[in-house]
Structure 1
Amino acid sequence: MKSDTPEELNSDKEIERLIDEIMSSNLPELTDEQYRKKMQRRKEVQDRRIAQAVPEKGLIIVNTGNGKGKTTAALGMVLRSLGHGYKVAIIQFIKGAWEPAEKAAFSYWEDQLEFHAMGEGFTWETQDRDRDLDKANAAWEKSLEYIQNPDFQLVLLDEINIALKMGYLQVEDVLAGLAKKPPNKHVILTGRGAPTAIIERADLVTEMTLVKHPFRDQGVKAQPGIEF
């Protein structure tokens, strides 16, 4: 492996290359001394990377893809934010025909959390395009209130990507709304099919990949605590 010193790592690509070299080694087969040296080198690289990092900033975060876990991952960030004492708003664009269990779970933080389930369920259940449009636009107007409110550090727009994909909202309007957020505010957009323009604007994008799913592969219905 090339012996770079931390001072020679002058780009993200160089740092990523070195990390890949270190972590691609067959670690279980190393001697204790070899392992210690590799982990020491890994720490040097990581410390350099942290030292080069920019100050904190409000992020636009996108969880998309066909795999399960987009909302679940976002709710984990909500929980962390509440634990730090931050104020959080959740606006759900599709859910609303049923009471989501996460709303009950988060009731402990009712002084910090605003929760709005403003949809009416899956689009194939409502079967009313005009009504779906009205619900999505009402949810977006509510979202804008929290996006622009400096008192809220995190806003979760749950399944807004689906509303965009269905044409209930315009990408340009959402981008314009995101541009109005205070510099330190984080906004999470979830749902499959995130538009390219949203992905390009985002700071952090995760695509959930579907490998196996109990409903698709085994015919297992949605279960409390797992899906809702």
Structure 2
Amino acid sequence: MEIESPPVHRERIVPTGERRGLVLVHTGDGKGKSTAAFGLALRAHGRGKPVLIYQFMKVPSARFGEHRVFEQLGVPIIGLGDGFSWKSKDLEHSADLAREGWARAEATIRGGEHFLVVLDEIMYPLRYGWIALDAVLACLRERPPHVHVVLTGRGAPAELIELADTVTEMQMVKHHFKAGVPAQRGIED
């Protein structure tokens, strides 16, 4: 590692636009997409803003670490799916759940009662064709101006990246799973 001097001068850029709801996308093959979205949810909740989290691949009865803490904090986190496709016993049922889940999420976004709506792992049902990309894009364009939406998952479509205000691509540099270390409670769930 090369040592560098801390910066002492910084060019200050003054924003000229108005504050408005943002569309944020967390995508890529690296770890941390959902975790980053949950961090934003915690930040918004900490400021007293109403937050709602939809998880497109988790079952409604899921009790992972995030469910436990959000329940304690009073932040709704709703599983809309039946697990990842390789765990599903009926892919048509999975697709139906995704479409029903999208209808709920769309109503929430358009309703405008929440400051932040998280659409966790929505990229999977988009990529599988279970949810129409055009419908998601239209909802994001037409949402109330104060509503922020975070969408997570691998393989975000180019059209969604184009529409988004902020896109972060998580890149895997190294992952413990590739070294044979299994998933661990509190880290992956």
Say whether residues 1:196 and 2:158 are aligned partners: yes
Q: Contact conserved, 1:147 with 1:180, CA < 8 A, in 2?
A: no
Say whether residues 1:118 and 2:80 are aligned partners: yes
Q: Contact conserved, 1:214 with 1:220, CA < 8 A, in 2?
A: yes
Structure 2: tracts of 5 or more residues without a match: none
Code of the aligned partner of 1:70 = K
State the alpha-carbon separation in 1 of the partners of residues 119 and 93 from structure 2: 19
Distance 1:81 1:136, change over 3 A: same
Partner of 1:220: 181
Structure 1: tracts of 5 or more residues without a match: 1-25, 29-34
**1:145-224 paired onto structure 2 within 5 Å:** 145-216=107-178, 218-224=179-185
State the alpha-carbon separation in 2 of the partners of residues 52 and 152 from structure 1: 25
1:127 Cα deviation from its structure 2 partner: 4.2
Which protein has the bigger helix share?
1
CA-to-aligned-CA distance 1:8-65 (integer Å, 9 cap, x gap): xxxxxxxxxxxxxxxxxx743xxxxxx7xx613x1xx12xx0x234221100000000
Q: Percent identity?
A: 41
State the alpha-carbon separation in 2 of the partners of residues 123 and 99 from structure 1: 19
Q: Contact conserved, 2:58 with 2:81, CA < 8 A, in 1?
A: yes
Code of the aligned partner of 1:139 = G
Name which structure has the greater RCO, CA cutoff 8 Å, separation 6+: 2
1:177 Cα deviation from its structure 2 partner: 1.6
Equivalent of residue 68 in structure 2, options 104, 118, 139:
104
Q: Contact conserved, 1:62 with 1:206, CA < 8 A, in 2?
A: yes
Partner of 2:23: 60
State the alpha-carbon separation in 2 of the partners of residues 147 and 53 from structure 1: 26
TM-score, structure 1 as length reference? 0.77
Partner of 2:8: 39
Q: Contact conserved, 1:95 with 1:118, CA < 8 A, in 2?
A: yes
Code of the aligned partner of 2:67 = K
What SS is found at the alignment partner of 2:118?
Answer: strand
Partner of 1:69: 32
